[in-house]
Structure 1
């Protein structure tokens, strides 16, 4: 397979595609803006249309939240009120004044507070939105809808540090909402806090590995850090999270580009054929030197191999300095500490340097979960009728063509 080249530099291998026009881009030509890699022309168009997109984004955030820190003043007292007086709300002015009067009589009416901030947003009064949201939350307590609006207003004003602060409050109230980690990661990215952005995209992926947007954001972050093989593995884990489902052609293309961009060796070695009784949980035995084997439940919901704390202690794993994250696994969200095992082997199938999560509790009768980051190292074939899962070594990814 021929490696795609940059549309601007035909002698240079492309590492991504423009999220606006779909042109192939090398690292020098790609600018990460608004959650996507873009060419220079699309960056300009993106900023020209920012006001329209921000209005749409506000609506999307409110709708998305239906599915899925302390307060401090953003400006000196009196500064916002003078701005508000000077702002022309146009046709919405009378309605906004009416809502403000209503809130004067019932200052903690959540429905009215939300309606007032939304009206300010639709009128384009972003400073008013922020002031209204912050004032309400300071006086009446936290409000998800209002904090979403203040986050969106800060994003449109390019106040990305403040946007990140706002969504941190949302995360505190809903720590399993992957969307919030995406929003904060994008704000960090725009503020050039790249390490924090990568950590948030990683957390979002652990919660929603089946989501293409999450996968692309994490893969792009890995590429920017020069980790093409990690980016490729992220896409493979995404595919493994959807066994039996047709692959998105765009994600297939992304995988091909990432595979050609890196010099990745074989992901996993050897072969294993795992058998399970009909209609029974898919449990495999994990060998332990000098002791009884552990029992691992095959779980394609889990982005990571997960071990119980007791089993991790039997294996002698250290959790010193381990990072705590939340992980979708076993039809639940688990809080785990991330560490690494040097090798994980089942029958003849072996993988090295495997990240694992250690959890205090797991489903009864199992010592761990066999997650995507082990399974995705192999070509996996499942015969549901026969109760058989076969893991075979994948051919090494093709290397990028040498530049003349």
Structure 2
């Protein structure tokens, strides 16, 4: 008896088997067609270090082999600039944008290192050094910032801004003597002190105070006031001067005596320092009394050559060391403990037979009138 077929199934040949076979054939063809794409997708992801490998030599030359790899992976501009430096290691147009990208990307230390290393190999550039300086200040590497600013000063001795930058780093390090020298240099390198903002004078004043020299701290403020007392005298400045005067008991020695001294056309007058007589040019544009080395020696004024200052003179700049005149006398006027600057390595910095400049660290202690060929001096009131 023939086997009975289940009632719900057709007695005709089943279609299931050929359909399954067809599906396998189609799937196999698809796998063959997309095999390359699948292989690529199944490959391990390209390691992020691969982005750096092609520029390993560039990073090594810049001293930042440890720069996080995602910097280049996520920044196509960085890749382009690194390519430029790979082809031309001293490409000056590529390095500054690159270090700026490093800083913006959160790598200021690497930016500073790259800028400095590039400068060592290819020649220092002011814009690169200044970027390195600010990056180092940002990460509080203040000693490194001092070094970067010193390199800037080597590029341009007459640029007051570079002195200010180094002075700021010294001040942050609490190296107040060095900061004072740089801030005084900043002042002296201005073309005209009469146009300088009060903040520049206050920095110098603040450094004197930090060094425990309150009487000297008065003078920068008096210099600022001297150019236009009526407009510049404020309650705050008067109070600050009074506090310094009280702190140092300055009134008895700061300035005394009055006189009216005839000035010849040469502007040269006789000045006595610690008993030694010299010939000095009256110069209200000089922030400090300046002495030649020979006059300083005769007057027994010792230079502090560890913190040199830069002063602008006719024909260029001169390096000067800070010193202190115990007693200065001009006619019948006198002042004690006057900060001075002693020129270094230039015996005739102020001209043949000239012993220095009678500058504002003396003159600002007095009310000064220059008219009719005469210099009139009257002590300023510190109250």
Gaps of 5+ in 2: 1-58
TM-superposition CA deviations, 1:294-348 (whole Å, max 9, x none)? 43211122222223334445x4535476554322345753223443333222221
Distance apart, 1:118 and its partner CA: 3.0
Q: Aligned residue for 2:310?
A: 326
TM-superposition CA deviations, 1:37-62 (whole Å, max 9, x none)? xxxxxxxxxxxxxxxxxxxxxxxxxx
For the residue of structure 2 that corresponds to 1:81, the secondary structure is coil
Q: Aligned residue for 1:169?
A: 151
Q: 1:192 to 1:310 in 2, by over 3 A?
A: closer
Distance apart, 1:290 and its partner CA: 11
Q: 1:135 to 1:77 in 2, by over 3 A?
A: closer
Contact 1:89 1:125 in 2 (8 A): no
Contact 2:225 2:232 in 1 (8 A): no
Matched, 1:178 2:160: yes
Contact 1:120 1:128 in 2 (8 A): yes
1:348 is aligned, of 296, 313, 332, to: 332
Q: How does 1:119-134 map to 2 (within 5 A)?
A: 119-134=101-116
Q: Aligned residue for 2:261?
A: 274
Distance apart, 1:255 and its partner CA: 4.3
Contact 1:272 1:347 in 2 (8 A): yes
Using the alignment, how far apart are the partners of 1:331 and 1:259 within structure 2? 39
Q: 1:206 to 1:133 in 2, by over 3 A?
A: same
Contact 1:303 1:327 in 2 (8 A): no
| Alignment TM-score, normalising by the size of structure 2 | 0.69
Contact 2:322 2:339 in 1 (8 A): yes
Q: Aligned residue for 1:115?
A: 97
Distance apart, 1:228 and its partner CA: 2.9
Using the alignment, how far apart are the partners of 1:287 and 1:131 within structure 2? 51
Higher Rg of the two aligned structures: 2
Q: 1:137 to 1:317 in 2, by over 3 A?
A: same
Q: 1:356 to 1:95 in 2, by over 3 A?
A: same
Using the alignment, how far apart are the partners of 2:176 and 2:197 within structure 1? 21
Q: Aligned residue for 1:339?
A: 323
Q: Aligned residue for 1:379?
A: 367
Contact 2:255 2:365 in 1 (8 A): yes
Q: Aligned residue for 2:216?
A: 230
Q: 1:288 to 1:305 in 2, by over 3 A?
A: closer
Contact 1:301 1:330 in 2 (8 A): no
Richer in helix (by share): 2
Using the alignment, how far apart are the partners of 2:342 and 2:60 within structure 1? 46
Q: Aligned residue for 1:284?
A: 269
Using the alignment, how far apart are the partners of 1:253 and 1:351 within structure 2? 25
Matched, 1:256 2:239: yes
Higher relative contact order (CA 8 A, sep 6+): 1
Using the alignment, how far apart are the partners of 1:290 and 1:342 within structure 2? 10
TM-superposition CA deviations, 1:160-203 (whole Å, max 9, x none)? 22222222222233333332232223223333444543443344
For the residue of structure 2 that corresponds to 1:355, the secondary structure is strand
Distance apart, 1:108 and its partner CA: 1.0
Q: Aligned residue for 1:304?
A: 288
1:201 is aligned, of 176, 183, 189, to: 183
Gaps of 5+ in 1: 1-74, 399-404
TM-superposition CA deviations, 1:347-387 (whole Å, max 9, x none)? 2111122233333112245332111111011111233xx23
Using the alignment, how far apart are the partners of 2:203 and 2:270 within structure 1? 35
Using the alignment, how far apart are the partners of 2:66 and 2:320 within structure 1? 49
Using the alignment, how far apart are the partners of 1:239 and 1:329 within structure 2? 24
Matched, 1:86 2:70: yes
Q: 1:289 to 1:351 in 2, by over 3 A?
A: closer
Using the alignment, how far apart are the partners of 2:64 and 2:353 within structure 1? 59
Q: 1:185 to 1:89 in 2, by over 3 A?
A: farther
1:393 is aligned, of 372, 379, 383, to: 379
Contact 2:176 2:211 in 1 (8 A): no
Q: 1:220 to 1:281 in 2, by over 3 A?
A: same
Compute the RMSD of aligned alpha carbons. 3.5
Paired residue total:
312
Distance apart, 1:224 and its partner CA: 3.3
Using the alignment, how far apart are the partners of 2:359 and 2:271 within structure 1? 13
Distance apart, 1:206 and its partner CA: 4.5
